[in-house]
Amino acid sequence: MSFGSPYLTLPDFQYIKPKSLQEALRLLDEYKDEAKILAGGVGLFAFMKERLIAPQYVLDIKGITELQALRDDGAKGLTIGAAVTLNTILEFEALKERYKALRDCIYLLSDPVIRNRSTLMGDLCEALPYVDSPTPLLIFDAEVEAASVKGTRRIPVTEFIRGVAEIALEPNELAVAVHLKAPPENSRSLFFKHTSNGEFSVTNVAALCANSSKPEDRTVRFACGAIAATPTRVREVEELFKRRAPIPQLIDEAVKTIKKSVEPMMDILATAEYRSHMLEVLSIKAFRELLAS
């Protein structure tokens, strides 16, 4: 039943479920912008119901075996295919310790029922400022593998997200997997976010730390998102933590550096001042937790 409201129904389209990656890439090369990719459908159907997009073809990629890849290659890193659901990722052993920032992020992404359908790649490709997944991916130097009929290439997440709802994919390209680099030995990572109305992030941070007690061997990584149009890895703070100085002093300097390196935006969710304040609060919380031990 529908009441004819644009918010309840989907516009007309042709549904196609390619059986192989080659077939999907060939179709995408033929249809280009007229086709949209369906994995979890959570974002896609929302945008289609709102009539923000009305693709002629919807390509369901869930039948493609390669895109279901979920692999921990130890020191070589972690691969997450475009059609792997968030709940499948959450249950994956490697995430529980070594990639904990990503795990914490996914756990907070949506509710458990939605997570049976939605995918990490879907979240990433929305590229809206309040989308959380890019931030933890930045601290694992993640890359998006894009494939087309001409071949594949890898795009670092920093370059993949170009602006609001703008990603570095050509119309004939399919994002097939996210590759995370293995974190340093004995590292710990975490992810925090602050939301407006419990749903959309207005600030999120991801941080990683190894060898916290020895300044010269200490590795710290920090990224923040939902503050500006694109997420940022703040590399200046990473050098700063190698200095010999009391931890509270280093944290103080780091937070100042972070606040200088991003320009918070104002939108319907929060003011720039509020975002700036929350960035300070969450950064301090993250550094204290990682550097305390």
State the residues that interact with another protein by CB under 8 A.
Answer: 1-2, 7-15, 38, 40-42, 45-46, 49, 58, 60, 62, 110-114, 116-117
Minimum CB distance to another protein, residue 268 (Å): 18
Residue 43 CB, shortest distance to another protein, in Å, is 10
Q: What is the DSSP string of 90-133?
A: HH-HHHHHTTHHHHHHHHTTS-TTGGGT-BHHHHHHH--TT--T
Shortest CB 282 distance to another protein, Å: 22
Residues 6+ apart with CB under 8 A from 169: 125, 146, 160, 175
How far, in Å, CA of 86 to CA of 119, rounded?
5
Which residue's CB is nearer to another protein, number 73 or number 91?
A: 91
The nearest distance, CB 48 to another protein, in angstroms, is 8
Q: Are 57 and 29 in contact (CB under 8 A)?
A: no
Nearer to another protein, 111 or 216 (CB): 111
- End-to-end, the C-alpha distance of the chain in Å comes to 57
Helix pair 272-291, 247-261: axis angle to 10 deg:
150
Q: How far is the CB of 195 from another protein (least distance, A)?
A: 14
3-state helix, strand, coil in the chain (%, to 5): 40, 25, 35
DSSP of 27-96: HHHHHGGGEEEESS-HHHHHHHHTTS---SEEEEGGG-GGGG-EEE-GGG-EEEETT-BHHHHHH-HHHH
Minimum separation from the CB atom of position 283 to another protein (A):
27
In the numeric block, which tokens belong to residue 257? Answer: 């550096």
CB closer to another protein out of 107 and 274 = 107
**Of residues 100 and 275, the one with the C-beta less far from another protein:** 100
Angle of CA points 170, 171, 173, to nearest 5°: 65
Question: Quick check: helix, strand or coil at residue 229?
Answer: coil
CB of 251 to another protein, least distance (A): 31
CB of 228 vs another protein, minimal distance in Å: 27
Whole-angstrom distance, CA of residue 3 vs CA of residue 127: 31
Instruction: Give me the sign of the Cα torsion angle 134, 109, 207, 91.
Output: negative
Instruction: Between 116 and 152, name the residue whose CB sits nearer to another protein.
Output: 116
> CB-wise, 35 or 227, nearer to another protein?
35
